[in-house]
Amino acid sequence: MFVHDLIRSGNSNDFVIRGEESITYGQLQSEVSEYRRYFYAQGISGGDNVGLFSRNSVEYICSYMAVISLGAVIVPLNFQLSNREIAYIIKDAKLERLITMEELKLAEPLQQIGHKGTVEQLVIPEFKKILGAGRYPEAPALSGITEEDPCVIIYTSGTTGSPKGAVLSHKNLVSNARAFREILQAIPTDTVLCVLPMYHCFAWTCAVLNSLLCGAAMTILDGFSPKETLAAIKKYTVTVVYGVPPMYNILARLGEAADLNSVRIFVSGGAALPKKVAEAFAQKYGRPIIEGYGLSEASPVVALNPPERTKSGSIGRALPGLAVAVLDENDREVPNGQVGELAVRGPSVMKGYFHLPAETAQALRGGWLHTGDLAYKDQDNYFFIVDRLKDMIITNGENIYPREIEELLYAYPGIVEAAVIGVPDELRGQQAAAYLVLAEGKTLDKKELREFLGANLAAYKVPRDFIQVDDLPKNATGKILKRVLRDKL
């Protein structure tokens, strides 16, 4: 099955979008056909890489599906990027066309990076005015490609170095949506909240593709704000929510129990879910957050807690059809309970990084996708993330896992967010430093905090410095950008 075939999964008279303007599956199919005819008339065809720059919207879904139905490859762009960063991806992905909600001023940044080509911008509000009325002839049926061919190039967040484009096939995405459905199935009567950005694989596979696959409806928001999100959940009787830890952290502190009565499933991904946040949320709303784990290179879901048997602090079990293992530095599987690098193989693993053969070979060495995350597996085959491999701190030859310290910091009264990084130390090589966001009206007593941590950690793990900040730098999925903190040193 191709990804665009999923828009035909639901009953044509059932709603696929529930919002200010509700849309049925039949209407969505017709809309995608209109976009398809227009894009074909503009010269988009098989093998082209086409950029898509937009916030969440029905138009985003229509553009994405229409482009790939022509055999072209879609390249979603983070709408928070600067024009300079957009120019980098345009050049790297060899984009000649960019679908956008408003025209971007790209001539100067493209010139600055030495890009000699031209980029045609197809502005959605402008071309929507001329769709329909038989203006454009029917585009030919898709031919010459298979499910193994590329569907999308997703540029990683670039938390270290330049972003890389993970190439995912139709089979990668559809197989991941199907495997996810086996553990967490939406039903046609569900309304799924899509508030996470669609350019990110988590939102696209779970909130969009899984909803289409199951014939469910979606309520689309173009960004997260507590008041608007709670209002939308109530108004449209949302039953399934996909979120990231900062979102649940805010809802745990600001919402009321009755606000989320309609929701039967809460799922968290994108970053580690602190235990304190999970416990506070469950206490207030009476339902647990189901934590999972994934990465763009795996389309993205790798593991998920079964709703009927979740384990606190765990990312759950491997999805059906995926092999997940914990490997040592020689790529040998380690015993249960021992920490190593999490690795995955199976039908949802990317084809590789776009025109980066060396990086592809390194990431996929030995037939495994090496995630860069440190983890262990218990006797029930549940996985637990310890930390990012690159975030591990080594002091006097001892390993320090920042997440262990961060969990304790979240449990300390008054601390809302925490990030621990390694800082240079002449004697020990590295030491830990903690960046902290405090609740309004709270003050930081460093002496008391050190005593609290000292009672729960080995002395070498206690951070040398505690830095209070107003907020922590994050990407759109709520992942704290520790690189930005390190750059400030």
Q: How far apart are CA 149 and CA 70, in angstroms?
A: 12
- What is the rounded average pLDDT of the residues 73-83? 91
pLDDT for position 81? 85
Q: How far apart are CA 273 and CA 280, in angstroms?
A: 12
Q: How far apart are CA 77 and CA 79, in angstroms?
A: 6
Q: Which residues, listed in sequence order, are joined to residue 376 by a DSSP beta bridge?
A: 384
Q: What percent of the chain has pLDDT over 90?
A: 82
Is 349 in the same domain as 450?
no
Q: Has residue 156 been placed in a domain?
A: no
Rg of the chain taking only CA atoms, in angstroms = 23
Q: Determine which helix (DSSP H) or strand (DSSP E) holds 324, and give its type and residue range.
A: strand 323-327
Specify whether the backbone of 158 is left (phi greater than 0), alpha (psi in -120 to 50) or beta.
left
Q: Has residue 6 been placed in a domain?
A: no
Give the pairing of strands 15-17 and 23-24: antiparallel
Neighbours of 358 (CB within 10 A): 8
Q: Has residue 155 been placed in a domain?
A: no
pLDDT for position 161? 56
Is 281 in the same domain as 417?
no
Is 331 in the same domain as 480?
no
Q: In sequence order, which ranges of 300-434 are alpha helices (DSSP H)? A: 357-363, 402-411
Q: How far apart are CA 319 and CA 306, in angstroms?
A: 10
- What is the rounded average pLDDT of the residues 170-183? 97
Q: In sequence order, which ranges of 93-206 are alpha helices (DSSP H)? A: 107-112, 124-128, 170-183, 201-202
Is 230 in the same domain as 318?
yes
State pLDDT tens for residues 312-341: 999 999 999 999 999 999 999 999 999 999
Neighbours of 144 (CB within 10 A): 9
Is 417 in the same domain as 384?
no
pLDDT for position 82? 84
- What is the rounded average pLDDT of the residues 262-281? 92
Q: Has residue 165 been placed in a domain?
A: no
Q: Has residue 170 been placed in a domain?
A: no
Q: Has residue 14 been placed in a domain?
A: no
Q: Is the pLDDT of residue 160 over 50?
A: no
Residue ranges of E strands in 94-146: 97-100, 120-123
pLDDT for position 415? 96
Query: Which residue range is the domain that position 287 belongs to?
Result: 175-388
Q: How far apart are CA 114 and CA 101, in angstroms?
A: 26
pLDDT for position 251? 93
Task: Point out the domain boundary residue: 370, 388, 406.
Answer: 388
Is 218 in the same domain as 280?
yes
Q: How many domains does the chain have?
A: 3
pLDDT for position 246? 86
Residue 203: which residues within 8 A CB-CB, separation 6 or more? 56, 194, 196, 197, 242
- What is the rounded average pLDDT of the residues 74-94? 92
Cis peptide before 357 (omega within 30 of 0): no
Is 307 in the same domain as 341?
yes
- What is the rounded average pLDDT of the residues 362-384? 96
Which CATH number do you get for residue 416?
Answer: 3.30.300.30
Please give the C-alpha separations between residue 395 and each of 392, 436, 459, in angstroms, as whole numbers: 10, 21, 11
Summary mean pLDDT of the chain: 93
Is 422 in the same domain as 292?
no
Is 187 in the same domain as 57?
no
Q: Exposure of 361 by Cβ count < 10 A (0-12 exposed, 13-18 middle, 19+ buried)?
A: exposed
Please say whether the beta carbons of 164 and 363 come within 8 A: no
* DSSP secondary structure of 422-441: EEEETTTEEEEEEEEEEPTT
Find the range with the poorest average confidence among 130-134, 185-189, 307-311: 130-134
Q: How far apart are CA 60 and CA 88, in angstroms?
A: 22
Give SS3 for 394: strand
Is 397 in the same domain as 382?
no
State pLDDT tens for residues 21-56: 999 999 999 999 999 999 999 999 999 999 999 999
Residue 225: which residues within 8 A CB-CB, separation 6 or more? none
Q: Determine which helix (DSSP H) or strand (DSSP E) holds 454, and give its type and residue range.
A: helix 446-454
Give the pairing of strands 398-400 and 393-395: antiparallel
Tally of residues, the chain:
489
Is 381 in the same domain as 277?
yes
Please say whether the beta carbons of 63 and 29 come within 8 A: no
Q: Has residue 150 been placed in a domain?
A: no
Better pLDDT: 161 or 101: 101
Is 340 in the same domain as 361?
yes
Q: How far apart are CA 166 and CA 378, in angstroms?
A: 30
- What is the rounded average pLDDT of the residues 468-478? 87
Find the range with the poorest average confidence among 234-243, 408-417, 437-446, 475-484: 475-484
Residue 171: HSE in the Cβ half-sphere, 13 Å Cα cutoff: 11
Q: Has residue 157 been placed in a domain?
A: no
Q: Is the pLDDT of residue 426 over 90?
A: no
Please say whether the beta carbons of 335 and 377 come within 8 A: no
Which CATH number do you get for residue 86?
Answer: 3.40.50.980
Find the range with the poorest average confidence among 76-85, 192-201, 285-294, 431-440: 76-85
Q: Exposure of 483 by Cβ count < 10 A (0-12 exposed, 13-18 middle, 19+ buried)?
A: middle
pLDDT for position 159? 41
Q: Tokens 């569900």 — which residue?
A: 190
Q: Determine which helix (DSSP H) or strand (DSSP E) holds 63, and give its type and residue range.
A: helix 58-69
* Tokens found for residue 208: 């969009």
Residue 90: which residues within 8 A CB-CB, separation 6 or more? 51, 98, 106, 110, 115, 119
State pLDDT tens for residues 382-398: 999 998 888 889 887 78
Please say whether the beta carbons of 291 and 315 come within 8 A: yes
Angle between helices 245-254 and 226-235 (to 10 degrees): 80
